[in-house]
Structure 1
Amino acid sequence: MKVFHGVAELEMAVNTHLGYSDWHTINQDQINAFAQVTGDHQWIHVDPEKAVHGPFGLTIAHGYLTMSLVPMLVGQVYDISGVQMGINYGADRLRFPSPVPVGSRIRAGVELTMVKPNAMGYQVTTRVTIDRDGGDKPACVVDMLTVVVP
């Protein structure tokens, strides 16, 4: 875990790779729970018997499930001390280049791309790349926007 002591120290790290999260295994219970919460019960996610005969050979995680794990995974990579809070401001350029089959291990790589002043404090942009263990392409790439209030 990289800890930045205030925004000034964070600004000095722009255009650097901050590190990787721990590996997280996607299981069927997690996929089913996400389907229940979102109402997205497409068979490629929740029906292992049917999915065996589908395009992936087993169930896959929802893309938005993978995306929803970004805060947890990024929280393992870096933190900023000496600020009041960080607020999720949104995301830019969200892509799902490859599926995440059930049982996959994923992790986040984080690159700090921008820190700029805004009305509440500072907007911090990180490029988060979710890799799948053994995969040849990322599972998810997203530019995350966070407002940091000093």
Structure 2
Amino acid sequence: MTTTVVYTDLPTLVGHDLGFSSWIEITQDRVNTFADATDDHQWIHVDPERAKDGPFGGPIAHGFLTLSLTIPMWTELLEVEGVSTKVNYGLDKVRFVSPVAVGARVRMKAVIAEVTEVAGGYQIAVDQTIEVEGGTKPAVVARGLSRFYA
């Protein structure tokens, strides 16, 4: 469910739990496309036959692929009205806690940790946890930074 706020109300969101995004399936095609885009063709990602005998029992998603999915998941969770520009400002901390097997589904939980005024706008720090359906540990934990300008 999307939380919709007006730009001027961003400072009131500190501590707000935005809930969960929809599930996204990690397909071999998605992994292969990411490998082509990043030139990272390590066999644990792109060679299902060899990966069966590898440390994870099958192919896994690149950690950075899983991290990159925060973008579509994030857009489901927060809509800020009254802004002229939205900017992905970066990340403060990222950990790839557990692998994501091809065929698994992931979703993100997001909590707004901080809202800071910056020149011409606001920066929000969001604690993002990407979980694997049926998993016991998160796949990725990160603190994402976004800026909103009026």
Question: Which band: TM-score by shorter chain?
Answer: over 0.9
- Counterpart residue number, 2:112: 112
Structure 2 distance, partners of 1:66, 1:24, is 10
- Counterpart residue number, 1:4: 5
Structure 2 distance, partners of 1:18, 1:30, is 26
Alignment of structure 1 residues 1-150 onto 2, 5 Å: 1-8=2-9, 10-150=10-150
Structure 1 distance, partners of 2:30, 2:8, is 35
- How far does the alpha carbon of each residue in 1:84-142 deviate from its partner, in whole angstroms, 9 at most, with x for none? 12101110110010000000100010100111111231111101110000111100011
8 Å contact from structure 2 (residues 13, 115) kept in 1? no
The count of corresponding residues between Structure 1 and Structure 2 is 149
Please, which runs of 5 or more residues in structure 2 have no aligned partner?
none
- How far does the alpha carbon of each residue in 1:56-111 deviate from its partner, in whole angstroms, 9 at most, with x for none? 11100000000111110011111101111210111011001000000010001010
Identity of aligned residues (%): 44
Structure 2 distance, partners of 1:7, 1:111, is 19
Deviation at 1:12, TM superposition (A): 1.3
C-alpha RMSD over aligned residues:
0.8
Deviation at 1:7, TM superposition (A): 3.1
Structure 1 distance, partners of 2:120, 2:13, is 21
TM-score normalized with structure 2 length: 0.96
4+ runs deviating over 3 angstroms: none
8 Å contact from structure 1 (residues 83, 148) kept in 2? yes
TM-score normalized with structure 1 length: 0.96
Deviation at 1:11, TM superposition (A): 1.6
Please, which runs of 5 or more residues in structure 1 have no aligned partner?
none
